[in-house]
Amino acid sequence: MNTANNSLSTLSQTITKVLAPLLDLFNKAFNYNKYLAGSGFAALITLGLFFLMVALISLGDNSIPTDNSRKLGDVIMPDRDIDTLFDNVDKPEEPDQQPEDIAQPELDLAPLAGVDVSLPKPKTNFAGGGSFFRDGEYIPLFKVTPIYPRRAQERGIMGYAVVAFTITETGTVENAVPLEGMCGDPTNPETVYRQCSIFNSAASRAALKLKYKPKIVDGKAVRVDDVPHKFTFILEES
């Protein structure tokens, strides 16, 4: 402990002896002109910092290790021809039989009984301004296959749904509303039907895609409301 105190005291005395002339010179210059003394002191500090930075940079450059590794030159592979093992490859033979198409469910899209869809006998109507359109009831132009409900198909449920809709002057269908839904086997005459609604949505969507020849009255197409139509859903035996 005494040795450390003696070393600090010796270092302090040495620094005091070195800096004493400089402090004496600064005091004399400050007494003569304080601005000149401040400028000189600042220049002295700046010069000391400059030499300190030069010394640090020199020491830093010497500490950077030298890269003695060898660099490999670029490797260039020569062009080579690649020989193929097979020149001609035979095409696979076509199958003898094509896969059978998935059978669609059999749907009875015939209109309900009591609706006259027969073509009237041709006649010329010269009354009311000479129109040549013949009067007659609406006539279905083509069938539409409803999408079989997945839930009914998975459970093996069959049945039918009755939908009422409006046939417009252009023959399109709108305002489709389900009237009745029944579940049972339509192919079995002795089946006992029970009420259900599993086919109502599919039947309503299919009804909106139907197309009719509109009803003609006095040579003009008219709307027909509450037209019933029965869609029958039957699963084919696999």
| pTM, rounded to two decimals | 0.44
- Partners of 30 in beta bridges: none
Four-way CATH pick for 106-234: 3.40.960.10, 3.90.1300.10, 3.30.200.20, 3.30.2420.10: 3.30.2420.10
Tokens of 182: 């029944």
Please tell me the predicted confidence (pLDDT) of residue 94: 62
Dist. CA 138–CA 213, nearest whole Å: 5
Spell out the domain ranges in the chain.
2-63, 106-234
Please tell me the predicted confidence (pLDDT) of residue 179: 94
Dist. CA 144–CA 113, nearest whole Å: 19
Please tell me the predicted confidence (pLDDT) of residue 131: 42
Tokens of 149: 């409900």
Which of 233, 176, 234 minimizes the C-alpha distance to 199? Answer: 233
Please tell me the predicted confidence (pLDDT) of residue 21: 74
CA end-to-end span of the chain, whole Å?
106
Please tell me the predicted confidence (pLDDT) of residue 71: 64
Which of 145, 148, 123 minimizes the C-alpha distance to 136? Answer: 123
Dist. CA 17–CA 23, nearest whole Å: 10
Please tell me the predicted confidence (pLDDT) of residue 28: 73
Backbone torsions φ then ψ of 72, nearest 5 degrees: -85, 145
Please tell me the predicted confidence (pLDDT) of residue 120: 47
Residue 111: CB atoms within 10 A of its CB come to 14
Please tell me the predicted confidence (pLDDT) of residue 96: 56
Close Cβ partners of 218 (under 8 Å, ≥ 6 residues apart): 128, 131, 135
Spell out the per-residue pLDDT of the chain, length 238, in tens: 566 666 667 867 777 776 677 677 767 767 777 677 677 778 878 887 888 888 788 776 665 566 666 666 666 766 666 666 656 666 666 655 554 544 444 545 444 444 444 444 444 343 333 344 578 899 999 888 899 999 999 999 999 999 999 999 999 999 999 999 999 999 999 999 999 999 999 999 999 999 999 999 998 999 999 999 999 999 987 6
Backbone torsions φ then ψ of 159, nearest 5 degrees: 160, -155
Dist. CA 204–CA 175, nearest whole Å: 9
